[in-house]
Chain A
Amino acid sequence: MEILKTYKLYIGGQFPRTESGRSYAVKSVNGEHIANVCLSSKKDVRNAVQAARKAQLAWAGKSAFNRSQIVYRIAEMLEARKAQFIEELQALGQSKQSAESEVSMSIDRCVYYAGWADKYQSIIGSVNPVASAHFNFSVPEPTGVVGIVACQETALLGLISQLLPVIIGANTAVVLANATKPTCAISFAEVLATADVPGGVVNILTGQPAELLPTLSAHMDVNALSIAPIESKLQKEAQAEAIDNLKRVHIFVEPLYVKNAQGLPYIADFQEIKTTWHPIEQIAGGAGGY
């Protein structure tokens, strides 16, 4: 007899059940029962934000090279569990071919972003030739804690397309998974947990965006939102809630599960530019600037 998996949440590196004790059934397109997943509560959102905040400084404190290796490790772990994800996607109703293609593209996307960890700074940043005798340079820094409403069309690739540019840029994340296809997101959490991603860098909740998003978008310790195409009323409400602490809100209009839904702008969206001025002593008639 087959042992069925219990799908739980992923908060602070742990796999707790929702504090609310609620669950909902995930069904295949044919209506067959696949699993019961946690119906997260507002309290779970707040716990996840707290975990993400706690992890952010240490994550940003790691060397960019180290973050690169950790994200590459995600690709390795995903590759190792390829069959599991293909099976899960098929259970949710995808064809074998489409499931295989989605998992391959997901792995490729992890490899792609792994390579960016120690490079985007050189492209987004700059040394600025100011007219006075100062060394003046601009560098990107992570915006902080990013709330992600994951793609509601795909179970894995959309989520990865949003999450990877956020964490490669040294932010931490609270993810609201695809509401109707949440199983892959939790399996992906198992990948993260075994890929040396420190606890709290990524936190994943399953449940209803309509219930959870207002708490996430109004939370004063969330710095930015990444919102995949969702119902426009819900999106507009989230934008309005986000104004209170001037969250940076990025609404994706184009699909996130296509080949070209990746690139430097996806990273830059969740970076702040810091400019530092440092005086230059003029020595022996030398030039005063850069």
Chain B
Amino acid sequence: MSQKNWNLEPSLESAALLKLQDQYELFIDGKWQAPLSKKYFDSINPSDESKLAKIAWANEADTDVAVKAARAAYENVWSKMSGAQRGKYLFRIARLMQEQAKELAILETLDGGKPIRESRDVDIPLACNHFFYYAGWADKLQEAFAGQQISSLGVAAQITPWNFPLLMLAWKVAPALACGNTVVLKPAETTSLTALKFAEICQQAGLPAGVVNIVTGYGDTGAALVAHTDIDKIAFTGSTAVGKQIQKACLGTSKKLTLELGGKSANIILEDAPIDQAVEGVINAIFFNQGHVCCAGSRLYVQESIAAQVLDKLKFRLQSIYVGNPLDKNTDIGAINSKKQLETIERYIKLGIAEGGQIYQPTCELPTKGYYFKPTLFTDVAQSATIAQEEIFGPVLTIQTFRTMEEVIQKANNSPYGLAAGIWTDKGSRIFGLSQQLRAGVVWANTYNKFDPASPFGGYKESGFGREGGRHGLSAYLKFSN
């Protein structure tokens, strides 16, 4: 196959729409409050390493103020309000987000490095829809759990990751508020800006003070929040290692916990699959959001009879992937979220080569400033190889082959994780047969990386417990009593 040189005219989204402040404070009790810690950190644009803003770094005392505000709002206002009223606030928030969707999309891309096409078409619309969806549940909770005694939990501490900042905020805040809880949210340190913009939206919506509090900071801020004695619920999305630390910190307490953790999801192509469609699916499964996706299809299993053909097509397709400025509408792979993450990916690449893997990367030029990484394939990967076992969280795909269904089921399930899986085949009965055998919380058949507010998301095994989305997502924010 011939390799074309794809030179596209840049089509840059303008960031002029944004009105960024130089400095952001903590959002507590409906007001912007300077941190008691008196400390701030810089938020960096990963696409060019420029400084975007100074952001408050909350300490233990700050989280305490935030939890107290959330508790007061819970006791005095939010727990007393009818579900219908709570729903109206959530509908209002959804509408306000939709109105400012473009601004949110640009902000998400600037702060996190993801392609504007993705924040515009995926992250922000899904985040808005999530609020709209859960708004409608607020006055129908008893119908959702017929025959069970339910009540709200109280104050929820929520810790979100940097890969889908506003979307993960929506996944956590919307169901928590719908169920009658108040929240203290700690966004990831590299991507706080859309959460702070969301605080403005709460103000615009006239949401009662203290119902949503946002404390920015690093892991120490999150740890202080988790350790606070007056929270009733912790919802965390992030790495399995940190998830286990949080569990340890909660031992002996009655804090209700839901964890959305790591993954190393298998994407399986059977020999009868429509190959071009499957190849596109594989590209989307691993390179969506630079591979910074907990459910990324990072382990590809191709049936032996079509392996050579699939590999040729993948390599050809890789050559047309556009890596560059996230604000460019042509960009397929934007900036790696942080220098730290880029170093992690590079470390895994070295390991992959050292352990005998064959690396393939397309010839393309990366911007000289900012954090970028080429889409990468690895073949000749042993099942026991580190890059086939551990979550890389970057645009790196391992490719293995298999002969029989038994073999691929065994290989796919041979992981401590169990978040997602993909199946590519023309045969419906085979999809359902295979889906039943895969130990994963989400199975995408002839598609991948699809999300929807109505669709429960969450893992088996060490990928965590609890579901976000759909009716199942409500359970995480309700107390059940006999």
Contact = CB atoms under 8 A, between A and B. Distances in A.
A279 interface: yes
A274 B438 CA distance: 10
B244 A243 contact: yes
Contacts of B252: 236, 239
Interface stretch (A38-46, A90-98, A124-132): A124-132
Contacts of A132: 450, 452
B458 A273 contact: yes
Interface stretch (B4-12, B341-349, B354-362, B462-470): B462-470
Nearest to B420: A275
B416 A245 contact: yes
A128 B446 contact: no
A46 B374 CA distance: 46
Given A130-B452, A136-B452, A245-B416, A274 B482 contact: no
Contacts of B460: 272, 274
Interface in A181-240: 223, 236, 239-240
A263 B481 CA distance: 12
Contact of B461 (A131, A136, A223, A236): A223
B251 interface: yes
Interface in B387-432: 416, 428, 431-432
A138 B445 contact: no
Contact of B454 (A129, A223, A254, A263): A129
A279 B452 contact: no
B467 A243 contact: no
Given A136-B455, A236-B251, A245 B443 contact: no
A138 B462 contact: no
Given A134-B450, A243-B244, A265-B480, A248 B455 contact: no
Interface string A237-265: 00110011110100000100000100111
Contacts of B251: 236, 239-240
Q: Which one of B148, B444, B455, B456 has the highest number of Cβ atoms from chain A below 10 Å of its Cβ? A: B455
A132 B436 CA distance: 23
A276 interface: yes
A263 B252 CA distance: 26
A277 interface: yes
Contacts of A265: 148, 480
Nearest to B442: A275
A274 B443 contact: yes
Contact of A275 (B456, B462, B464): B456
Contacts of B464: 246
Contacts of B442: 274-277
Give the contact-size bracket for chain A: 20 to 34
Interface in B236-290: 240, 243-244, 247-248, 251-252, 259, 261
A193 to B, nearest CB: 29
Interface in A87-130: 126, 128-130
Nearest to A240: B251
Nearest to B277: A279
A126 B248 contact: no
A130 B454 CA distance: 6
Nearest to B451: A130
A278 B441 CA distance: 15
Nearest to B445: A278
B54 interface: no
Contact of B452 (A131, A141, A239): A131
Contacts of B259: 246
A254 B244 contact: no
A238 B452 CA distance: 37
A67 B251 CA distance: 36
Given A246-B244, A275-B441, A128 B470 contact: yes
Given A138-B456, A275-B455, A277-B455, A240 B480 contact: no
A104 to B, nearest CB: 21
B248 A277 contact: no
Contacts of B432: 276
A128 B444 CA distance: 14
A248 B465 contact: yes
Contacts of A275: 441-443, 455-457, 470
B88 interface: no
A275 B458 CA distance: 9
A161 B223 CA distance: 38
B473 to A, nearest CB: 10
Interface string A122-156: 00001011111010101001000000000000000
B445 A277 contact: yes
A211 B454 CA distance: 46
B293 interface: no
B452 A128 contact: yes
Contacts of A254: 482
Contacts of A260: 482
A73 B292 CA distance: 51
Interface of B: 129, 147-148, 240, 243-244, 247-248, 251-252, 259, 261, 416, 428, 431-432, 435-436, 440-447, 450, 452, 454-458, 460-462, 464-465, 467, 470-472, 480, 482
Given A130-B452, A277-B447, A279-B447, 7 more contacts: A126-B456, A223-B461, A245-B461, A245-B462, A246-B247, A276-B442, A279-B446
11 contacts: A126-B456, A236-B251, A240-B248, A243-B248, A246-B259, A246-B461, A248-B465, A274-B443, A275-B442, A277-B442, A278-B446
Task: Identify the 3 closest CB pairs spanning chains A and B, nearest first.
Answer: A130-B452, A128-B454, A276-B443
Interface of A: 126, 128-132, 134, 136, 138, 141, 223, 236, 239-240, 243-246, 248, 254, 260, 263-265, 272-279
